[in-house]
Amino acid sequence: MKFSTFHAFMLADAKVGGAVTEGPGFNTSPAKAIQDELELIEYADELGYDTCWVREHHFTQYGFLPNTMSLLAHAAARTERIRLGTAVVTLPLHHPIRAAEDTALIDVLSGGRLELGVGRGYQSIEFDAFGIPLSEARARTDESIEIIKRLWTAEGPLDFEGRFFQFSGVQLQPKPLQRPHPPIHYASISPESIVHYAKMGIPFIVDPTGTTGSIAKLAEAWRETAVESGHAPDGDLVACRYVWLAPTDAQARDYVENAPGVTSLSVDPRLTPRKADGSIAEGYEYWERGWHGRTVDHYAADADWDDRWIAGDVERVVRGIQALERMGYANLCVIFGLDAAPAPVPEIKRRMALFAREVMPAFDPGKAPAVPRP
């Protein structure tokens, strides 16, 4: 099992009522929050975490990092060994040639540490501003993935004639260091999307709000489809999970039961895939069943202790991670608790160090860190 960290670039007031969004936020300016996240990425590198994941969003406080690739190029210079992941690049908002160039450069700058996570996006405010129809998001994503992979690996100049992009004689310089190319992931909780990309052998990243049963079904569906399509069954599937480690199960359960609820901010129409007339865009029909296709009670707190969080003492947390391994997940992206008020950076570092010291060595004795000072 690999262990990674998630950096949402979310402000603390991106919430509805007393409910918080899926990842932690910092109650500061965007500039200060960026520096806080970079400090945590550096600390994750020192502690021996495998990957840090950063995500792209535009124009709202529900994630305010507009360019994951610029951020990771900077992080490459501030870290030594941690892999640098996008979770995700909203691919329809980028020209694929530029995305191929930028990601290849990050791979070179980092010494071959790039993990490219992509998604088709869903927020109407973003697509409207960039002038991209939401109904084209899936097709643009697929075409862009094809272009990026071909540019990364082409031996000479590349010609391409597609639905959205046409070019000739393009040769990428520099090429990525990783061969045949950097790993690609697709972030989604939609079974349709996960099966669609399993046919290409592209593993997925699933967010932390899915129940244990639902993410087990997603892993099974991915594995079956990948094998049927001629790919290996053991893709690098990534599960983001809320984690809380405490001296006793009782203390951990008390924390989980008193943690704030989670909101999708779906009350904000800008953050849903809607057309100008307010209807759901083509290709996003599952949103009619609730946010990201979830039912209204998807976030019910009674599912947290046994079916959403990995929480408890060291033994219980280890067992929860082992259950993920049995499902087929190879990378646990840890979200270190949920708090009504933003936890300060030193407190998040304490949680990161505790997990690294007490849990990670159970899966790889070599991961036992000489925990640096927070």
CATH code reported for the domain at 2-367: 3.20.20.30
- How far is CA 361 from its chain centroid? 24
> What was the pLDDT predicted at 12?
66
Give the integer Cα–Cα distance in Å for 309 and 213: 12
Query: DSSP for 221-247?
Result: HHHHHHHHTT--S---EEEEEEEEE-S
Closest-CA residue to 208 (of 65, 32, 55): 55
What element of type H or E holds 285?
Answer: none
> What was the pLDDT predicted at 302?
66
Give the integer Cα–Cα distance in Å for 51 and 331: 9
| SS3 category, 322 | helix
Neighbours of 341 (CB within 10 A): 9
Closest-CA residue to 143 (of 109, 72, 210, 94): 94
| SS3 category, 157 | coil
pTM of the model: 0.94
> What was the pLDDT predicted at 215?
94
Residue ranges of the domains in the chain?
A: 2-367
> What was the pLDDT predicted at 201?
97
Give the integer Cα–Cα distance in Å for 162 and 140: 10
Helix locations, the chain, DSSP H: 30-47, 68-78, 96-109, 124-130, 137-153, 191-198, 212-228, 249-258, 304-307, 314-327, 345-358
**E strands within 177-328?**
184-187, 204-206, 237-245, 310-312
Paired tokens of 287: 């949103």
Give the integer Cα–Cα distance in Å for 210 and 87: 16
> What was the pLDDT predicted at 295?
60
At what angle are helices 30-47 and 68-78 packed, to 10 degrees? 50
pLDDT along the chain (374 residues), means of 10: 94 63 72 94 98 94 91 98 97 98 98 98 95 97 98 97 98 97 93 94 92 92 97 94 97 92 68 89 83 61 82 98 97 93 92 97 76 68
Paired tokens of 201: 């052998």
